Amino acid sequence: MKHPTTSPDKDAKQFIVVGCGRVGAELAYRLFKKGHHVTVIDRDDAAFHNLPPDFRGRLLEGDVLTQDMMHRSNIEHAFGLAAVTNSDALNAVVGHVAHVVYHVPHIVVRNYDPRYRALIEAFGLQNISSSSWGAQRIEEMLSLGAIHAVFSAGNGEIEVYEIVIPSHWNGRRVGELLGDNPCGLVSLTRAGRASLPSREMTFEEGDVLHISTNREGIEALRKRLFA
């Protein structure tokens, strides 16, 4: 089953999305809307109904691990591949084959079950664990109050947090808030103007501080901020 591709764009790249569930369909459509050439592979023809009606990429039904399917997908010229099926083993193997055999430069695989994340990491592949990351973000939103994560690296091991400085920290130093925690200073915005902060800088009420840290670091900082 195929749809014709859109007209070529000078910046268009070739992407392959393996798995056309909700995640795969959303990803394929996003890439398509940005003007890229997208090939979607799934074992079940019915899965392609997850794609919006105006999607115009290539749709290939069958086993992605067969040599014929690899050839039909034009994987040799792919700029990137995403394996986002609900099978961690399949995602890991597809990613590994794409990397080792076909030398696809950009590969991301989905970790469906957090218990099998180590399997994917063993292949040295970039992976996204939607379950772990989503649960962490929800827990942060419930527990951290005025502190919000605005950027997440990896699967949330390191995040950039935005902190609005409360009135009782007016005149106190940045270093006093950070303490000995493993934190990286990103920026401090005051009256709409951002600057690179130092640990010696003093806060004013309403300052917006952005820092990077891990889960332990932000928990310790939250306790100090609202002590």
Same domain, 117 and 149: no
Indicate if 178 and 150 belong to the same structural domain: yes
- Map residue 173 onto helix, strand or coil: strand
Of 93, 128, 163, which marks where a domain is finished? 128
At residue 4, the pLDDT reads: 44
Instruction: Report the pLDDT value the prediction gives residue 187, as an integer from 0 to 100.
Output: 95
Claim to verify: residue 187 and residue 208 sit in the same structural domain: yes
Q: What is the pLDDT of residue 5?
A: 41
Q: What is the pLDDT of residue 94?
A: 95
Measured at the alpha carbon of residue 179, what is the angle toward residues 171 and 140, in degrees to the nearest 5? 95
CATH number at residue 45: 3.40.50.720
Could you tell me the end-to-end alpha-carbon distance of the chain, in angstroms, rounded to an integer?
A: 61
Here the tokens at position 135 are: 């649960």
Extended strands (E) in 88-132: 106-110, 126-128
| Residue 7 included in any domain | no
* Domain termination residue (choose one: 128, 155, 189): 128
- Beta 184-190 vs 193-195: how paired, if at all? antiparallel
Which tokens sit at 81? 């591949």
Q: One digit per residue, pLDDT tens: the chain, 227 residues?
A: 444 444 446 678 999 999 999 999 999 999 999 999 999 999 999 999 999 999 999 999 999 999 999 999 999 999 999 999 999 999 999 999 999 999 999 999 988 887 877 877 788 888 777 766 666 556 655 555 568 888 888 767 898 998 988 889 999 999 999 998 889 999 999 988 999 999 999 999 888 899 999 988 988 998 888 87
Same domain, 108 and 200: no
Last residue of a domain, one of 112, 128, 144: 128
- The Cα-based distances of 209 to 19, 156, 189, 197, 227 in angstroms read 40, 19, 7, 9, 18
Domain containing 104: what range? Answer: 14-128
Helix (H) or strand (E) holding 97, with range, is helix 88-100
User: Residue 181 is part of a domain; what is its CATH number?
Assistant: 3.30.70.1450
pTM over 0.75? The answer is no
Token pair in block for residue 204: 């004013």
| 112 assigned to some structural domain | yes
Phi-psi region of 120 (alpha: psi -120 to 50; beta: other; left: phi over 0): alpha
Cα-based torsion angle of the residue sequence 130, 133, 139, 144 in order, rounded to the nearest 10 degrees: -140
- C-alpha distances out from residue 2 to 31, 40, 42, Å: 17, 10, 12
Residue 148 and residue 119 in one domain: no
Rounded Cα distance between 40 and 18, Å, is 6
Pair 12, 35: CB distance under 8 Å: yes
Specify the pLDDT at position 74.
Answer: 94
Same-domain pairing of 119 and 38? yes
How many domains would you assign to the chain? 2
User: Do 112 and 26 belong together in one domain?
Assistant: yes
Same domain for 35 and 97? yes
Question: Is residue 121 one of the residues assigned to a domain?
Answer: yes
Residues 86 and 65 in one domain: yes
